[in-house]
Amino acid sequence: MKRLFLFCMIIFVALGQLPARAQEGFTRAEYECLLMSIASGKTERGPRELSASYHQVWVPDMKLGYFRANGLDMVYDTEGVGRETVVVVHGGPGLPHEYFHPLLSNLGKYMRLVYFDRRADILSRNSSTDVMSLVEMAEEIDELRKTLGLNRVTLLAHSFGGAIALTYALRYPDNVKRLILTSTAASIENPAEAEKRLVKTLSSDELSAYNSTDAGGSPCDRVRRRYRALYPHYFHLVPSAELLDFGVYSVYFDSLAKKLVLASRAGGFDVRSALDRIKAPVLVFGGRHDLVTPLSDVREMADGLPQSKLVVMEHSGHFPFIEENYLFTEWVRNFVASTADFADDRITITAPDGRDPFRRQ
């Protein structure tokens, strides 16, 4: 209770320093929604329970597994076949990993894919409201690596997940076989700056909806309405309504969890000066029309990595694997094949608990 009270007081004091414009930090609705989540132990999506998520209904080959990291019970899913194992590090934080499904399933023909929910995400049990660090989330990846019984892993990271992947590669260089970084950068700017770029593209109707999110409904409803106006502009071409609905459903909590993560580093995240220490081969994707992570930032990161290949996705925004799925799949498949070696990446044939992590449970 003392830790919760201290956390709430920090947020309350911070609110008093915030300007009125929503883009500059917490809105009152975000603050109230976060407190509701803390008080109830629930998000608007439901209780934080360790259970199979809905995507397993329509991705039937998924295999559910569990691992423990930093005192938390974590969930991971696997799909696909092949000698190579790729751990998928999703964006967010707060955004559950389901937005990759079934878009990455094409890669399952060539490699084993492992997805997991981090401490800030929907499926992790006992998820804490404490400030989270990138180092802690990198350590979660290493615990997953050990659970899978692997010496080295390939990380496929998107957006904020790229910061975690880079942190992991710098802390555990011998455990990284290759990196695939999508719509990410070597430094994290103030999220308000990305939001300002998005706001400039809103139509008059969208701008009206965006500016009216401080009135009507519950605090979480108001936050969702705000992001419902912004989220279509994460893309070059607006996708289906179903995909947008899921994104809006998740992104509002992402905005809250992000504050907890970024608060753990007074100087922010910036590893641009350390990129030359990453010797593993790296494939970098950047969307030509990405307003969230501009191509200039992606290119700067690629230029700093000694063994990198930059692929500019000409018809994509922040989600190239959605907007240009076939090209994304082919680039990843060829990159993994061209950087393969004959080393056996397994620690043992089975995971440390004696169970094959890829066998259907």
Determine the pLDDT at residue 216: 60
Q: What is the pLDDT along the chain (361 residues), one digit of tens a residue?
A: 444 434 343 333 333 333 323 333 444 555 455 555 544 444 443 333 334 444 444 566 778 888 888 777 788 889 998 889 999 998 876 666 778 888 899 999 999 999 987 765 544 444 444 556 788 889 999 999 999 999 999 999 999 899 999 999 999 999 999 999 999 999 988 777 888 899 999 999 888 888 875 556 666 677 677 777 888 899 998 776 656 655 544 544 444 445 545 544 455 789 999 999 999 999 999 999 999 999 999 999 999 999 999 999 999 999 999 999 999 999 999 999 999 986 778 775 445 555 555 554 4
Determine the pLDDT at residue 63: 82
Q: Please, how many CA atoms are within 13 Å of residue 256, restricted to the half-sphere of its CB?
A: 28
- The answer to whether position 151 is within a domain reads yes
Dist CA 110 CA 227 (whole Å): 36
Say if residue 332 is exposed, middle or buried (CB neighbours under 10 Å; 0-12, 13-18, 19+): buried
Phi, psi angles (nearest 5°) of residue 66: -135, 150
The angle subtended at Cα 305 by Cα 188 and Cα 78, nearest 5°, is: 75
Dist CA 113 CA 102 (whole Å): 12
- The answer to whether position 245 is within a domain reads yes
Say if strands 112-116 and 85-89 run parallel, antiparallel, or are unpaired: parallel
DSSP string computed for 30-56: HHHHHHHHHHHTEETTEE---S--THH
- The answer to whether position 360 is within a domain reads no
Phi, psi angles (nearest 5°) of residue 179: -125, 145
The answer for residues whose C-beta is within 8 angstroms of residue 293's C-beta and 6 or more apart is 159, 183, 184, 185, 194, 286, 287, 318
Identify whether the C-beta of residue 264 lies closer than 8 Å to the C-beta of residue 131.
yes
The pTM of this model reads 0.79
- The answer to whether position 153 is within a domain reads yes
Range of the domain at 122: 1-350
- The answer to whether position 358 is within a domain reads no
Determine the pLDDT at residue 246: 53
Determine the pLDDT at residue 321: 95
Phi, psi angles (nearest 5°) of residue 145: -55, -45
- The answer to whether position 357 is within a domain reads no
- CATH number of residue 214's parent domain: 3.40.50.1820
Determine the pLDDT at residue 120: 53
H or E element, residue 179: strand 176-182
Determine the pLDDT at residue 62: 76
* CA-to-CA separations, 155 to 20, 106, 212, in angstroms, rounded: 39, 17, 40
- The answer to whether position 28 is within a domain reads yes
Phi, psi angles (nearest 5°) of residue 17: -100, 0
Dist CA 200 CA 207 (whole Å): 9
Dist CA 269 CA 322 (whole Å): 27
Dist CA 343 CA 142 (whole Å): 19
Determine the pLDDT at residue 2: 43
Give 62's DSSP letter: -
Cα 194 to chain centroid distance, Å, stands at: 16
* CA-to-CA separations, 72 to 43, 134, 351, in angstroms, rounded: 18, 16, 19
- The answer to whether position 244 is within a domain reads yes
Phi, psi angles (nearest 5°) of residue 40: -95, -15
Number of domains within the chain:
1
Structure tokens at 331: 């680039």
Give the CA dihedral 225, 98, 100, 239, nearest 10 degrees.
-30
